[in-house]
Amino acid sequence: MISDRSKRNLAREFRGSRLAQIGMVLMAIILVASLFAPFVAPHDPEQQRVGTGGTEERTDLPPIGFSATETETRLGDDGEFVEREVELEATWDHVLGTNTRGQDVLSRVIYGGRVSLTVGIVGALIAALIGVPYGLAAGYFGGRVDDALMRGGDIMLAFPSLVLAIALVGVFRGTEFHTAAVPDPFVYAAQSDTILSSLIPRSAHVASMPETTTLPVTVTLVVALVNWVWFARVSRGEAISIRKEEYVKAARSLGASDWRIIRQHVLPNSLTPIIVLATIQVAFIILLESALSFLGFSGTTLTWGQDIARGQSDQRAQWWIATMPGLAIVFAVVSVNLLGDWMRDALDPSIEGEGGA
């Protein structure tokens, strides 16, 4: 699907771009940590530790290198309740600290990446599957077909993305699309005697992790419906340009049908800007999903946006609860954007001095 010349440009641009290499490393770390979360996460992200017996059981523990104080109310010897300031020290058992429920922040960041990245990648894929054929048909046929198809897209662009997404969430919540609990193959293998368990080493640590991963089906569909129009506009522009090429006219003169021309000539030659747009859309969808989960529309309790929402009430005292998932969002979006810039520089022939020139 991608020409050998484009592959060479990508490789050459990657070798010469330090930012692209940084983006690749960041994305690889996030993907590996999210995929192998049961192995990487130090604790069950949903397990609450609300005791007061030991440091490892306390809530609101700070990250390593920081300390915090907590007001504790206890019954005094005289029968009266007294308040005292308790110094909370960081512990290596919770490298990024714990939240107000005693849940390990690092584990929640790792597992939250599963949801955000899945929504970002799958949402962008669905948006492309809707928008690319739509835009190619509009651009290739032109005229009234183009006007009729693209006016619908223009209407969607008139609404702010977040407002439109919230409205669509309300619509889809009235249907059967909510969330889907997908079994975790690593945990399943660690808990059962199957062929899969022979391939994956058994581990009590892995077996203690959540057995399923909850994916917000509604939010995934919503973000796809919000963003398909961008794929439609880009593919439409490519189709308008390509349909004037000599090889398209030759194929038409030989009796090829319109849909065959679109499939064999227009689509393959439109892939470069579509692929670049897809990487950018993954970053945008991650931000949109985080905003929706921050507002309580995610459908699952284990997302970066929802953890930020939980930590915003006491940002001054327990700053790490909202800051750590916020940094995860920043790293994910920056890494995707760096990869998108690398692909654009390598594949866009209009950029002078880069791989596409």
pTM of the model: 0.85
Residue 88 phi, psi (nearest 5) = -100, 120
pLDDT at 181 over 80: no
Residue 228 lies in a domain: yes
CA distances (Å), origin 28, targets 33, 107, 340:
8, 18, 15
CA–CA dist 265, 271 (Å, integer): 11
CA–CA dist 231, 300 (Å, integer): 28
Residue 189 lies in a domain: no
CA–CA dist 226, 2 (Å, integer): 28
Residue 313 lies in a domain: yes
CA–CA dist 49, 110 (Å, integer): 18
- Residues 266, 242 contacting (CB under 8 angstroms): yes
Residue 123 lies in a domain: yes
Tokens of 27: 């994305």
Q: Outline where the chain has alpha helix (H).
A: 4-16, 18-35, 37-40, 105-141, 143-157, 161-172, 185-191, 195-199, 204-207, 217-242, 246-253, 258-261, 271-294, 304-311, 320-347
**In this structure, what CATH number is given to the domain that contains residue 319?**
1.10.3720.10
Provide the pLDDT for residue 355. Answer: 44
Residue 30 pLDDT level (bands cut at 50, 70, 90)? very high
Residue 335 lies in a domain: yes
Provide the pLDDT for residue 254. Answer: 87
- Residues 279, 340 contacting (CB under 8 angstroms): yes
Quote the domain boundaries for residue 232: 4-47+103-179+216-347
331 CB burial (10 A radius; 0-12, 13-18, 19+): middle
For the chain, the average pLDDT equals 82
Nearest to 233 by CA among 144, 139, 155: 139
Strand 81-89 to 180-183 pairing: unpaired
Report pLDDT digits (tens) over 292-314: 989 888 778 888 998 898 888 77
- Residues 134, 141 contacting (CB under 8 angstroms): no
Provide the pLDDT for residue 73. Answer: 57
Tokens of 253: 């003169």
Q: How many CA atoms lie within 13 A of 338 on its CB side?
A: 19
Q: What is the mean pLDDT of residues 241-248?
A: 87
Q: Long-range pairs for 50-57 at CB < 8 Å and ≥24 separation?
A: 50/101, 50/102, 51/102, 55/88, 55/89, 55/91, 56/91, 56/93, 56/94, 57/102
Residue 56 lies in a domain: no
> pLDDT higher for 215 or 89?
215
- Residues 223, 289 contacting (CB under 8 angstroms): yes
Q: In this structure, how many other beta carbons lie within 10 angstroms of the beta carbon of residue 36?
A: 13
Residue 357 pLDDT level (bands cut at 50, 70, 90)? very low
Number of domains in the chain: 1
Q: Quick one: CA dihedral 169, 175, 178, 184, positive or negative?
A: negative
Q: Which residues pair with 89 in a beta bridge?
A: 67
Q: Quick one: CA dihedral 168, 169, 170, 171, positive or negative?
A: positive
CA–CA dist 156, 225 (Å, integer): 9
Provide the pLDDT for residue 282. Answer: 94
Residue 64 lies in a domain: no
Residue 55 lies in a domain: no
CA–CA dist 224, 172 (Å, integer): 13
Percentage of the chain lying above the pLDDT 90 cut: 27
Q: How far apart are the first and last CA of the chain?
A: 20
Report pLDDT digits (tens) over 54-74: 545 567 788 887 776 666 656
Contacts of 75 (CB under 8 A, 6+ apart): 81, 82
Please tell me what DSSP assigns to residue 133.
Answer: H
